[in-house]
Amino acid sequence: MSDLNIKPFSMFFDLKTGLSREQQPTRRTLSNMKGMYADAAAFEAALKANDELVYEFYELKLPETPGDLLFGSSIVYPGKVGNEYFMTKGHFHAILDTSEVYYCLSGKGYMLMESPEGDWDAKPMTPGEAVYVPKRYAHRSINTGNERLVTFFVFRADAGHDYGTIEANGYRKLIVEKDGEPVIVNNPRWK
Ligand code: MN
């Protein structure tokens, strides 16, 4: 047994705000989301008006060792850039063949997933819904409601994060508001 082994622990986990009493969040405002929304003009206008908080997440600060798990919570705020809903950047795992589970605690939205091979899916997230993100699938949370979208997640501790692929290429699909409802459309800027 090395000192790197994680000892048994438990911690407070609030069903509305996740790990907010235990950890400081990582915050992403509009200025962190440059290039991620399809409507670049709407993005620039929104950013100029207010560098709004788009989402935040709380992660365990534990070693990323094979065989361990990490968990945390994510909060996506309600809002839109043009007609595209507030969302997380989305990422692949650096170790592509690792999966993840998200459990929706509150709010309303979608988990948008796509594989490098081009398969994609969008699973609704409402309180009580558990979404399985298979290995190889990039994943992004999208808030299509008027309240905060709060989720709990758990994944293999050594999976790592690849944000760069999505930052460079975008997602194949977008979820936008049309006539007051979320609809899935092709991303005109997908590379
Ligand atoms: Mn992940």
Q: Using the mean position of ligand 1's atoms as its centre, give its distance from the Cα of residue 160 in Å.
A: 8
Q: Using the mean position of ligand 1's atoms as its centre, give its distance from the Cα of residue 100 in Å.
A: 6
What does the pLDDT average to over 104-129?
97
102 by Cβ neighbours in 10 Å (0-12 / 13-18 / 19+) ranks as: buried
Q: Using the mean position of ligand 1's atoms as its centre, give its distance from the Cα of residue 48 in Å.
A: 30
Q: Using the mean position of ligand 1's atoms as its centre, give its distance from the Cα of residue 87 in Å.
A: 14
The dotted CATH code for 12-186 is 2.60.120.10
Task: Check: CB of residue 181 under 8 Å from CB of residue 145.
Answer: no
Mean pLDDT, rounded, of the chain: 94
Q: Using the mean position of ligand 1's atoms as its centre, give its distance from the Cα of residue 155 in Å.
A: 7
> Is residue 7 over pLDDT 80?
yes
pTM: 0.95
Query: Picking from 30-34, 85-89, 187-191, which range would have the lowest pLDDT averaged per residue?
Result: 187-191
Q: Using the mean position of ligand 1's atoms as its centre, give its distance from the Cα of residue 109 in Å.
A: 17
Q: What residues have CB less than 8 Å from 109, skipping those under 6 apart?
A: 76, 85, 124, 125, 141, 142, 143, 144, 145, 149
User: Which pLDDT band, with edges at 50, 70 and 90, does 1 fall under?
Assistant: very low
Number of Cβ atoms within 10 Å of the Cβ of 151 = 26
R_g over Cα of the chain: 17
> Is residue 191 over pLDDT 90?
no
What does the pLDDT average to over 56-81?
94
Q: Using the mean position of ligand 1's atoms as its centre, give its distance from the Cα of residue 166 in Å.
A: 13
Closest among 16, 60, 14, 25 to 150, alpha carbons compared: 16
> Is residue 4 over pLDDT 80?
no
User: Which residue(s) pair with 59 in the sheet?
Assistant: 72
Task: Check: CB of residue 104 under 8 Å from CB of residue 153.
Answer: no
User: Which residue(s) pair with 153 in the sheet?
Assistant: 72, 102
